[in-house]
Amino acid sequence: MSVIVRVPTILRSYTGGEAEIAGEGATLNDVLHDLETRHAGLLTRVLDDNGKIRRFVNVYVNEEDVRFEQGLETPTPSGTAVSILAAVAGG
């Protein structure tokens, strides 16, 4: 199941500068692990040491925040758009 993953600027060094990359998988977790096979290092920037989405990273599947859906088990059928957003703090 092919999905499009939108990558924030801060993580594009892992994707060769690409803003959008293709991923495969039935769930968000599957997609993220698939991306790691082609874009080494990306997974550890999205997930923490416990395998959970990092506190300052927001992930959306079809514009829905996965924290309010099924988390990493959120389904990603073919054609799904996944957006990874790195929170920015400042003042």
Per-residue pLDDT of 16-39, as tens digits, reads 999 999 999 999 999 999 999 999
> What single-letter amino acid sits at 86?
A
pLDDT, position 1: 61
pLDDT, position 90: 63
State CA 79 to chain mean position distance: 15
pLDDT band (50, 70, 90) for residue 88: confident
Report the number of distinct structural domains present in the chain: 1
> Which residue range is the domain that position 52 belongs to?
2-86
pLDDT, position 91: 59
User: Which of the 8 DSSP states describes residue 7?
Assistant: -
pTM higher than the cut 0.95: no
- Does 28 map to a domain? yes
Going through the chain in order, the beta strands assigned E by DSSP cover: 2-6, 20-24, 57-61, 64-65, 81-86
- Does 91 map to a domain? no
